[in-house]
Amino acid sequence: NSSITPNLDGRNDIYLPIIYNSHLIESYQLWIFDRWGELIFKTNDYVEGWDGKFKGKVCPTGVYTWQVQYDESDANHVERGTLHIMY
């Protein structure tokens, strides 16, 4: 579990999964879903994190689900979890 506080204070404003050996990544996808399962963020860039916004507006406090899938030359990885937005 992780938390972000997207209040633009420069600390903990972005959610970005930590991937060790990221230089080995051949493909990458990160998805963020709200509590109803709606996709609210997607990226194929492993250095782009989620800023807690959907359609330009900051999302409310609560629990969100994330999924990351990435491929390396010798393995495929899929991980899921939750993150909390707090203010």
Output the tens digit of pLDDT for each of the chain's 87 residues. 589 999 989 899 999 998 887 778 899 999 999 999 999 999 999 999 999 999 999 999 999 999 999 998 888 999 999 999 998
Report residue 24: phi and psi, to 5°: -90, -5
Closest CA to 63 of 81, 84, 80, 38: 84
| pTM score over 0.85 | yes
